[in-house]
Amino acid sequence: MKSQVELGRKLFFDRRLAFNNTNSCAMCHIESQGLTTNQSATAIGMEGRSLSRNAPALYNVAYQTSLFHDGRESDLAQQAWAPLLSPLEMANPSIGHVVDKIRALEDYAGLFEAAFGGHQASMQTIGDALASYQRTLLSGNSRFDRWYYGKQQDALSPEEKHGFEVFMGKGSCATCHTVGEKSALFTDDNFYVTGIGYYNAIGAGPRVSKVELAPGEFIEMKHEDMKSFSAPRINDIGRFALTLDPKDRWAYKTPGLRNVELTYPYMHDGSLSTLEDVVAFYDKGGIEHDGERVLKPLGLTDKEKADLVAFLKSLTTPEDQAKHAGYR
């Protein structure tokens, strides 16, 4: 099993998995950037092509019952073939092309056979190896866990504890970002319309974006000025594309919030840059849209908002644990 994980890690970081040998899984899901890409709202793929969605952080992906922002895939081993074959991402012409290429690479000689009881590289074993590695990307044991589940009173500050009260109570956050009795993944694996997709679809989306130039340093850029070098956004209808159920139009998966401090920018299109922006978004009840409103304005005070952000930052896995899990 261990060697399946190691082999999966090697594949995850291997740029030769892209048709033109230039990008790997790890170049969009960057270890030191919360397993997403902090600098771009939506992912950038093969030859600089823009994707319409933000690269999700892969923490605790092992526990997810549905994958992608719209939940169109459920099997981690199958999922890997989507970026491998997508013309925007790794652009391989076929499964066979990838399998043949890996079988021919000298530094993979014998590795699949050793990890998979004699089976060579194939659609199944390549997917399984990548899945095994991603299942090790666990996030837990944060200060929140030590306080809430471990009963260590001083693990959270009074502000963070108050933020948790807001999360569970006035903010209603936990109705979707679930906190269980024995553990918490902060997601109900369900899909909701928060209004973001709708807002962008009708062309009323934000006219400025925050762009990160250096760590922690943002500038605001007008979309007008970005037109010359960024492709127009593809219209994204969310889960509706799969279910064709009108209530799923612009519905996206509830993401888990583990390590959320590290996984900016936020939402399926990366349109919110900071946790303060996210809390302000919920405080005004999301964005008005056609159809049933699941989010209602919250009327949070400045202190409640600040403490809620402080609480969210207590969900970060300590660095030594993260290293043990094999990332960062």
Interface residue list for ligand HEC (CB under 6 A): 23, 25, 27-29, 43, 45, 51, 53, 55-56, 58, 61, 64, 67-70, 76, 79-80, 83-84, 89-90, 130, 134, 171-173, 175-177, 192, 194, 196, 252, 254-255, 257, 260, 263, 266-268, 278-279, 282, 294-295, 308
Q: Which residue has the tokens 């895939």?
A: 73
Which tokens sit at 25? 């899984």
How far is residue 174's CA from residue 85's CA, in Å, rounded to a whole number?
36
Q: State which residue, 145 or 187, has the beta carbon closest to ligand HEC.
A: 187
Q: State which residue, 111 or 267, has the beta carbon closest to ligand HEC.
A: 267
Residues 6+ apart with CB under 8 A from 135: 5, 61, 62, 76
CB 276 within 8 A of CB 207: no
Q: Count Cβ atoms below 10 Å from residue 70 Cβ, excluding itself.
A: 23
Q: Count Cβ atoms below 10 Å from residue 98 Cβ, excluding itself.
A: 23
What's the gap between Cα 66 and its chain centre? 12
CA distances from 100 to 65, 104, 118, 245 (A): 31, 6, 17, 40
How far is residue 20's CA from residue 17's CA, in Å, rounded to a whole number?
8
C-beta of 196: minimal distance to ligand HEC in Å?
A: 4
Q: State which residue, 23 or 316, has the beta carbon closest to ligand HEC.
A: 23
Q: Which residue has the tokens 């807002």?
A: 199
C-beta of 173: minimal distance to ligand HEC in Å?
A: 3
Which tokens sit at 215? 């760590």
CB 51 within 8 A of CB 23: no
Q: State which residue, 147 or 197, has the beta carbon closest to ligand HEC.
A: 197
C-beta of 252: minimal distance to ligand HEC in Å?
A: 4
C-beta of 323: minimal distance to ligand HEC in Å?
A: 21
Q: State which residue, 23 or 142, has the beta carbon closest to ligand HEC.
A: 23
How far is residue 253's CA from residue 70's CA, in Å, rounded to a whole number?
6
Q: Using alpha carbons only, how large is the chain's radius of gyration in Å?
A: 20
CB 258 within 8 A of CB 186: yes
C-beta of 67: minimal distance to ligand HEC in Å?
A: 4
C-beta of 223: minimal distance to ligand HEC in Å?
A: 19
Q: State which residue, 74 or 183, has the beta carbon closest to ligand HEC.
A: 74
C-beta of 279: minimal distance to ligand HEC in Å?
A: 6
Q: State which residue, 121 or 257, has the beta carbon closest to ligand HEC.
A: 257
C-beta of 175: minimal distance to ligand HEC in Å?
A: 5
CB 317 within 8 A of CB 259: yes
How far is residue 187's CA from residue 174's CA, in Å, rounded to a whole number?
8
Q: State which residue, 19 or 68, has the beta carbon closest to ligand HEC.
A: 68
Q: State which residue, 225 or 247, has the beta carbon closest to ligand HEC.
A: 247
